A = this chain, B = another copy of it.
Amino acid sequence: MADKITPRSVDYSQWFIDIVLNAKLADYSPVKGAMVIRPRGYAIWERIQAEFDRQFKATGHQNAYFPMLIPMSFLQKEKDHVEGFKPELAIVTHGGGEELEEPYCVRPTSETIIWYMYKNWIQSYRDLPLLYNQWCSVMRWEKRTRLFLRTSEFLWQEGHTAHETEKEAVEETMRMLGVYKDVAERYLCLPVIAGRKSEAEKFAGAVATYCIEAMMQDRKALQAGTSHFLGQNFGKAFDVQFQSREGRLEYAWATSWGVSTRLIGAIIMTHSDDKGLVLPPTLAPEQAVIVPILKKDSAPAVLAYCEKLLAELKASGIRAILDADDTQSPGWKFAEHEMNGVCLRIEVGPRDMAEGKAMVVRRDTGEKVAYEVAGLPATALGLLDAMQKNLYDKALAFRKENTKRVSDRAELLAFYGKDQGDEAGTATATGGFAEGLWCGDRECEAALKAETKVTIRCLPLEGQDHVEGKCCLCGKPAKHLAVFARNY
């Protein structure tokens, strides 16, 4: 049986690690800051990937693959880009037994090598747009790492598009932000706020960075995806010019956008509880487990009854398993499958069988109802749908409860508590998302971060229409509505 997991109220960070390790989603590796994604974790990633990939293709994108190594000189070509990424690079200096003339870095992101190639492929407006995406792993040598949330190597997708006009590139940036929001909310049950990053928080090399931000159960924010409008920065850095419709030479306009295995961390920290993993039914490798209650004489009949039920559930498209292991007690199995995030537990004992019933327990609410076995697949599908909706609604309600409009500095500081800037973050910490007006000044934002570890998560897309009043931090005239939070 899995080890006991630390309750969230005691130590939220340890609770998270306990879930990841005990549900066998991932494990520590012997490589600094890198993790191993175990089959149950990877099966979740495969489902996340499949849904995003479907949406990318539906919006006209194609997958491609670019080298994992990038010549160091490429990074230098965009000055903000190299400044942002240089401290985090892993460097390859030797290959095939010899020292290399020019070192390579392992890609931290692929704008540079992709735009180097785009120069060969883009001559005319007829070659545009290029709407490419890549699924791969990237490496960022982080000092402090945490399973799924921040690892030196992680899996992600990176979209890189090239366009004729600024307008089209901006539209693409917003379209992919919309795809991210849709998949996060509908498929991962993560309510997110879509917004623009402040100048201080934007991607190294971007003109503007847009993001989706989710609230975890400890009320901290987690950036769940980003979409960047890169302007002509990479077009110019890699000299990607094309003949326009008017016959002029122009630099191509760019976007890039990505989501990563970090999403699995967000899903865990949004839905799970002290018993273990809770997963949206869309993602659960196992949506239902049948646990037979085996007693001496009736055991063969109960097992046969369960096997028939299993076949029916599978035939309805439910990912169901039967746990017929007779070396473990039902109670042990209940705990194990709760730990693993199986959505529905279906208990069948001799009496249930005699009555033509089965006891169904929902992982999210713990509701336990005896249903007729005739029609159970349809019932189970209905319960899975209800669970999908409930997880989203619960997370949205939690975010709303923990979001506060603030109008001045005192109110904001009170919301976050005087000395609550602890690194671990506990579920008892005060605060959450604060919404307040902001002047837009870098120094004003930096001062808040230094004092409280609270940062501007985004300038939400909604609510920027009639910004009037004073900055809640410094009292100067406000330019934006901002969402503040401590963050992962």
Contact = CB atoms under 8 A, between A and B. Distances in A.
A425 to B, nearest CB: 24
A63 B90 contact: no
Interface stretch (A113-121, A194-202, A216-224, A334-342): A113-121
Contact of A31 (B30, B32, B104): B104
A281 B29 CA distance: 42
B106 A66 contact: no
A116 B142 CA distance: 23
Contact of A95 (B86, B95, B141): B141
A143 B91 contact: no
Interface in A46-86: 46, 62-71, 74, 86
A43 to B, nearest CB: 7
A64 B40 CA distance: 8
B96 A143 contact: yes
A292 to B, nearest CB: 20
A92 B117 CA distance: 25
A95 B32 contact: yes
Contact of A96 (B29, B42, B89, B155): B89
A43 B69 contact: no
Nearest to A69: B31
A64 B39 contact: yes
A87 interface: yes
Contacts of A316: none
A34 interface: yes
A139 interface: yes
B90 A64 contact: no
Interface in A356-385: none
A392 to B, nearest CB: 27
Identify which of A31, A37, A87, A136 gathers the most chain B CB atoms within 10 Å of its CB.
A31
Contact of A64 (B36, B88, B104): B36
Contacts of A117: 27, 29, 36
A29 B92 contact: no
Given A90-B94, A91-B95, A97-B87, A68 B104 contact: no
A71 B39 contact: no
Interface string A156-194: 000000000000000000000000000000000000000
A38 interface: yes
Contacts of A66: 29, 36
Interface string A111-139: 00100110010000000000010001101
Contacts of A31: 67, 69-71, 104, 113
Identify which of A34, A68, A104, A136 gathers the most chain B CB atoms within 10 Å of its CB.
A68
A20 to B, nearest CB: 14
A464 interface: no
Contacts of A42: 62-65
A317 to B, nearest CB: 16
A172 B137 CA distance: 29
Given A34-B69, A67-B153, A69-B153, 11 more contacts: A29-B113, A31-B104, A32-B95, A39-B63, A42-B64, A45-B65, A46-B63, A87-B96, A88-B96, A91-B94, A96-B142
10 contacts: A30-B113, A37-B65, A39-B63, A46-B63, A68-B137, A69-B139, A90-B94, A91-B95, A92-B106, A95-B152
